[in-house]
Every structure is written in C-alpha cells, then in structure tokens.
Structure 1
Amino acid sequence: MGLHVCLYVPNIIGYFRALLVLIAWCVFSHPDLFLPVYGLSALLDGLDGWTARRLKQTSRFGAWLDVVVDNFGRGMLWSMLYDWGWLVASLEWCTFVCNHNTRGAQWKSSFTESPTWVRAVMAKGFKTPPGVLTIAGLHGMPVWLYGLQHNVLSQFCIPQWLQILGFLLLAAGRLLCLAVEMWCILAHIKHLTKDEDEEKRD
C-alpha cells in the first residue's frame, strides 16, 4: 500500500467528517445548526467502516483516521462546553496514543490478556452490554451535556426526569470508559518501563 490509500472512499468520508467538525465548532452557539452538522459527522462514523468493508478498502491508516476524527470531534465539544473540558480531551488523546502505539490498528481485539472487566467492555468490538454502555457514555455524554446546557432537550419536550435519567446512564458509561482509559494508560506505562528494564539487562 502507498499514498493511494489516502484516497480510499472511507478515508475521504473521514476527511469530510473532520470538515464537519470544524463547521460545528464555528456554529457551536447555534444549536439549530450545530446539532445537524455534528450529528451528520457522527452518522458518517458508521458509514466509513461499512464502506471500507464493502469496498474492501480497510487499512491501518483508515483505522487510525477514524479514531483521530472521533477524538477531534469530542475534544472540540468538551473544550467548548467547559473550561476543564480539555482534560477529558487530553485523556482521550493519551489513551489513543497508548493503544495505537502498543496495539496497532487492531487494538479493539487485542485485550485478551486484560482484566475480566476490561475484556467485558472490549469484547465483540464493544457489542456487549458493558461495551454499549461505555460507547454511549463516550460519545453521548458530551452531546447530552450540550443539550442540557443549551436547553435543547426541553425544546424537544423531553421531561426533566428523563433528562436526569439520561444524564445518569451516560455518566455511568463515561465513568466506565474512564476506568478502561486509565487501565490502558497504566498498561502502556508498564509496557514501556518493562522494555527499558530488558534493554538495560541486555
């Protein structure tokens, strides 16, 4: 494979998603514009993977780009929502670096030797109850908070109790995600320090 991989259809979708994130950033204070643009980027997140498999255009670059754009979008949203949002974004980027540096493009299926609770989240590409809860918290929590902050949920006639319930469920998922992120970072640090010890012995 060469640079032509950059022109694979799913990767072009990824570039378009990144552009949508930039547009969403520009219209952040206008929910009627922000939500459709950001939502389209999220919908295309599922399309690029399907397209890659359908057209047999899967690639390491595509797997990397997909997560980069995801982090790009969530990082923008967290940072715009709160002054401390950059901390969440930094944690997600740190986890991304640790996983892709140690595990490569197949990082989702490389947790066979991790603790049981981590495997429960990661199993079947997050297609388990803990995995679904984690992904919902990861992607849905900042969007839900945006809806609360800009009073969008009330405009959609979502009752207060349901807004609170949604917040609690997504918060639980995000906390579970946080636990997995911390485990990944610590595992990567252990991996790095182990390599250094072995090099010194050699």
Structure 2
Amino acid sequence: WAAYDTPALFVLLYSVSIALDGVDGWLARWLGQTSRFGAWLDVVVDNLGRGMLWSLLFEWGFLVCALEWCVFVCNHSTRGEQWKESFSSSPPLIQAIMANGFWTPLGVWVVGGLHCLPLWLYSYQWGLLSHWLDVPLWIQAAGTLLLAAGRLLALSAEVWCIWSHIEYLTNDEMEEKKN
C-alpha cells in the first residue's frame, strides 16, 4: 500500500497478489496442505486487499468492503471452510456462479469482476489505461462494463448468501420457540 501513489509499481504488486491468490489454494490442495485456517485466511486477505483499494478509490468504497465482510461472516459461520461447495439448494444462477469452485466461464467472469474491477478502476483513475498503455477509450469502456457486470453478478450471489443466512438464523429461532 506504500506504492499506491506509484501506479506502475502498485498495479504490478496488486496484480501479483491477485495471481498468487489464484495459485495458493490450488497449490495447497495439490500438496494436501489445506486447513480450515487456510480457507479462512485466504478470504480474509482477499477482503482486506480489495477493501483497502475500494476505500482508497471512492468515498463510498467502504460499502463494497462492508458487504464482502458481511458475506464472509455469513458463509464461514454456517458453511465453514467448505463454503464453495455448499450451494446445492441455491437458485440456478447462484449454483452456476459457484459451480466447480468458480472454475466455469460464469464463475471466472464473476471472480474477474470481484478481483479485477477495483484494479481496472484504479488504472483508469491514474491514467494508466490511456496514457501508459494507450488503451483506446472504447476498450476502456468495454472493460469497465464487462468487469462491472461480473461484479454485479457477484453482488447477486452475495445478496443471496446474506439472505439465506438470515433465513437460517430466523428458522433456528422459530424452532427454538416451538420447543
């Protein structure tokens, strides 16, 4: 985060962190080194990084951060480290997003929107796309729309996770009152 004001270095370091996030889980599974703590820590590190970037990009960026933390609490408190595999009773869109641990075209689009949209917007704000990379304006707009659509799909899954957690909590209370 010390490199935030040095766009070329920041984009490089943040991109490396996104890439490592994609590799670390795969490597842990391949080596048989998975754990509940590792699954928890992976999401915590993701949320911290994205949350800090959203908060630096926009005054309202904390809302994206708050939503992601709320979903984290909902998913990990009821589903634990197997949260990615626990969506069999969810609506078809949510199942499609979550299928195969996000390793489907739709899942990759959603994760791309989740992880890459804030970096894309940072690059846009700092003029990296137009001045440094000489990306045409129409490609910048198309990239923004594509990533924003992926992030909106992520939002639909996040809202469903929160809603299903609220239902879970209130169903337990109703059953306790019956007993």
Pairwise same-fold verdict (TM > 0.5): yes
Tell me whether 1:164 sits opposite 2:141 in the alignment. Answer: yes
Question: Percentage identity across aligned positions?
Answer: 60
Question: Following superposition, which runs of at least 4 residues in structure 1 exceed 4 angstroms of deviation?
Answer: none
Conserved? CA contact 2:54–2:61, under 8 Å: yes
Number of residue-to-residue matches in the alignment: 178
Determine the C-alpha separation between the residues in 2 that align with 1:114 and 1:199: 25
Conserved? CA contact 2:11–2:123, under 8 Å: no
Q: Give the residue type in structure 1 aligned to 2:98.
A: M
Which residue in 1 is equivalent to 2:7? 31
**Whose RCO is larger (CA < 8 A, sep 6+)?**
2
Q: Give the residue type in structure 2 aligned to 1:177.
A: A
* Cα displacement (A) at 1:50: 2.8
- Match of 1:157, SS? coil
- Match of 1:34, SS? helix
- Which structure 2 segments of 5+ residues have no match? none
TM-score normalised by structure 2 residue count: 0.96
2:86 to 101, 110, 131: 110
* Cα displacement (A) at 1:51: 2.5
CA distances 1:179-199 after superposition (whole Å, capped 9, x unpaired): 110111011001001111111
1:65 to 19, 29, 41: 41
Tell me whether 1:50 sits opposite 2:26 in the alignment. Answer: yes
User: Counterparts in 2 of 1:13-162, with a 5 A limit?
Assistant: 25-154=1-130, 155-162=132-139
Q: Give the residue type in structure 1 aligned to 2:76.
A: H
* Cα displacement (A) at 1:48: 1.5
Which residue in 2 is equivalent to 1:194? 171
CA distances 1:106-128 after superposition (whole Å, capped 9, x unpaired): 01010000011110111111122
Determine the C-alpha separation between the residues in 1 that align with 2:40 and 2:152: 24
